[in-house]
Amino acid sequence: MAIKKNIIVIGGDGFCGWPTALHLSKQGHNITIVDNLSRRWIDQKMGADSLTPIASVEDRLAAWTETTRLEIEFASIDVAREFNRFTALLASVKPDVVIHFGEQRAAPYSMKGIDEKRYTVDNNISATHNLLAAVTELGIDPHIIHLGTMGVYGYDDDGIQIPEGYLSVYIPGDDKRIFQRDILYPTNPGSVYHMTKSMDQLLFQFYAKNDLLRITDLHQGIVWGTQTHETKLDERLINRFDYDGDYGTVLNRFLMQAVVGHPLTVHGTGGQTRAFIHIQDTVQCIALAVNNPPQRNGKVAIMNQMTECHTVRVLAEMVAAHSDTKVAYVDNPRNEAAENDLRVSNKSFIDLGLNPITLAEGLMDETQNIAVKYADRCIRKMIPCVSTWTDKQRPGVVKSAA
């Protein structure tokens, strides 16, 4: 490793944040995790739990030091609500890099009810803005790396390959001239959660332009897989495996259903095409981003952090083929296109040297070493998706016009 950096990982206790913190610590960087432990209390409130047993923060950090002789600092701060404490930490750590995972990240949870909608907006927007405002106020200059989502692009514009953040368009003027512009890809979020990440883009755009902050926004696909090289080192370091209807992503839920003998529940026709990435590739991408800060040119660097696209139906078939399970087609609780095509550019990370793990090669390992191994911890009633996108009984609303 070339240069040892001071790195703050906001949300470093979460599913992506934890393995990222370990990976960067292993690479020799000084890591400070900032977290409000929201994934833990949200689980408690929902009655859900990670399939894998998650140690307390103290035990996780002690295990890391025991295993590697490396230390990671931890600060229990809510970045959205404890601005002064967060600013004091920034002033003391003087980070070279801040990695921002500090947002409520489940689309179904963000649609669950009024409290969850409001929490997602208030937490995610204030957290992102507090970070930008604090950095500007202190006059420090960290490279800010943010976890965005492929969902900002939306999934219903078949035909156009999803570019990396910016789209080249031609605009006919009213005087017969034609103007070419590179614009932020017109956002089309499908949930309150995805909407907040679209709003984040405008926060980054403004602070990059006005204050010349250096910002990398990573539009990530759906993450699958549980373990990375570092989280495998000790069982106390194990990463989360969420399978409940709100936080469990589609592949985890299929794996869990297969193991407990539940039919694989596909929403609608399963024709929804989505982008995927393995958690090991997530941490690799973030390390690449850390080592490749953008130019200070007033523009946010946007990269797509995904490695392959599949339809939900094909995923279900892959999992069914590995197990003795049937596929069940159920009503879609989401408000989304039934079928869509998806082609995504991920040229930036491939050019930087990303060598992806494919679903085909990693699926069996995930099944055996996670889903089967911890199957007895499964809380079956948490499997169905119960958060719906719209109240079909709402007076005056003609659902078919959506």
Active-site annotation holds for 149: yes
170 binds a copy of itself (CB under 8 A): yes
What secondary structure does DSSP assign to 314-338, as a single string? HHHHHHHHHTT--EEEE---S-S-S
Tell me if 353 contacts a copy of itself by CB under 8 A: no
Task: Select which of 112, 197, 299, 307 is catalytic.
Answer: 197
Q: Does 211 participate in binding a copy of itself (rule CB under 8 A)?
A: yes
- Determine if 31 is a binding residue for a copy of itself (CB under 8 A): no
Is residue 79 a contact point for a copy of itself (CB under 8 A)? no
Choices 44-52, 121-129, 240-248, 356-364 (CB under 8 A): range interacting with a copy of itself: 121-129
Phi, psi of 203 (to 5 degrees): -60, -45
Tell me the two tokens of residue 175.
């005087």
- How many residues bind a copy of itself (CB under 8 A)? The answer is 66
**329-348 footprint of a copy of itself as x/- string (CB under 8 A):** ------x-------x-----
Cα-based distances in Å from 357 to 88, 285, 302, 308, 351: 40, 12, 22, 10, 16
- What does the DSSP 8-state code read for residue 369? I
Contact by Cβ (8 Å): 151, 194? yes
137 forms part of the interface with a copy of itself (CB under 8 A): yes
Query: Is residue 172 near a copy of itself by the rule CB under 8 A?
Result: yes
Q: Which is nearer to a copy of itself, 24 or 111 (CB)?
A: 111
Q: Is residue 1 within 8 Å of 93, Cβ to Cβ? A: no
Is 174 a residue that touches a copy of itself (CB under 8 A)?
Answer: yes
Residue with tokens 């010349």: 212
Q: Is position 85 an interface residue for a copy of itself (rule: CB under 8 A)?
A: no
Say if residues 131 and 144 touch (Cβ distance below 8 Å): yes
- Cα separation, 316 vs 264, in Å, equals 7
Q: Which of 16, 89, 98, 203: binder of a copy of itself (CB under 8 A)?
A: 203
Question: Percentages helix, strand, coil for the chain, rounded to the nearest 5?
Answer: 40, 20, 40
Among 2, 58, 69, 139, binds a copy of itself (CB under 8 A): 139
Q: Smaller CB distance to a copy of itself: residue 325 or 387? A: 387
Tell whether residue 177 is a contact of a copy of itself (CB under 8 A): yes
Give burial (CB, 10 Å; 0-12/13-18/19+) of 82: middle
**Among the listed residues 1, 9, 68, the one whose alpha carbon sits nearest the alpha carbon of residue 28:** 1
Q: Is 92 in the site for a copy of itself (CB under 8 A)?
A: no
* Alpha-helix residue ranges (DSSP H) falling in 142-272: 192-210, 250-260
Quick check: 3 binds a copy of itself (CB under 8 A)? no
Measured from the CB atom, the residue of 73 and 308 that comes closer to a copy of itself is 308
58 vs 174, which CB is nearer to a copy of itself? 174
Encode burial over 319-332: b for 16+ CB neighbours within 10 A, e otherwise: bbebbebebeeeeb
Active site residue 193: yes
Which range in 30-38, 45-53, 195-203, 272-280 contacts a copy of itself by CB under 8 A?
Answer: 195-203
Q: With CB under 8 A as the contact rule, which of the stretches 9-17, 19-27, 30-38, 200-208 interacts with a copy of itself?
A: 200-208
**Are 319 and 262 a contacting pair, CB within 8 Å?**
no
Q: Catalytic residues, which ones?
A: 149, 193, 197
Give contact residues for a copy of itself (rule: CB under 8 A). 83, 113-114, 117-118, 121-122, 125-126, 129-130, 133-134, 136-137, 139, 141, 157, 159-161, 167-174, 177, 179, 181, 183-184, 186-187, 189-190, 192, 195, 198-199, 202-203, 206, 209-212, 296-298, 335, 343, 389-391, 393-399, 401-402
